[in-house]
Amino acid sequence: MQLVLIRHALPKRVDPGPVTDHTDHPPAPADPALTPQGRAQAERLVGALAGEPVDALYTSTMRRAVQTAEPLAAARGLTPVPRPDLREFDDGRPEYVPVDQLAEADPDTWRRMRDGHLPGHVDAAAFTDRVCAGLEEIVGAHPGRSTVVVVAHAGVVNAYLATVLGTARPLPFPLDHVGVSRLVCARDGMRRVRTVNETGHVADLL
């Protein structure tokens, strides 16, 4: 089967709320919606996959992934299947900073990610195990010549690609918003990466 992995479109920035002395109400996790630019990027996914079969559509349960999948779902008459195991490594954090703003907002985390490593607060092994188990379950549910699209996150896509390619770093690729990566997955366990981060369909919106 063909597994098509998509990074979500551009979401809004969410800054953490003010710190108070009250500990009985922890800050709510950030779950940003797409920006207008992000919605335009998401629309381009329809054209990027035009002429290709899409037999099933899965998403992370985070809003930015769900909203990215909406135009493709509407165009193909598909009902996306949300999966919590495809949530990003920042799940539960009270802030969200788009990667193009991260160097200024959090230089240490930016340097780690630039060098291919997850942020320091993330259990890299547990995150990778969760992501790979979820994606392998999807692959197992669609044998044969199916084409399955998964809309998730840069960390999720990278974790799976790194596992398939056998790279030491969990973030080997700088993936763009709505970048498309494709793998061929066979019943005998063969996993082959065909492309990484196709962006021609959104080049003018990045």
Q: Are 109 and 102 in contact (CB under 8 A)?
A: yes
Tell me the backbone φ, ψ of residue 92, rounded to 5 degrees: 95, -10
pLDDT reported for residue 34: 98
What pLDDT shows up at residue 100? 87
**What pLDDT is recorded for position 197?**
98
What pLDDT was estimated at residue 18?
Answer: 61
Mark the ranges of the chain whose per-residue pLDDT is less than 70.
17-24
Instruction: Please tell me the distance from the alpha carbon of residue 106 to that of residue 49, in angstroms, as a whole number.
Output: 35
Supply the pTM of this predicted model. Answer: 0.95
pLDDT at 22: 56
CATH number of the domain at 2-11+28-205, please?
Answer: 3.40.50.1240
Burial of residue 153, with CB atoms counted within 10 A of its CB: 0-12 exposed, 13-18 middle, 19 or more buried? buried
Pair 202, 176: CB distance under 8 Å: yes
- Write down the pLDDT at residue 26: 74
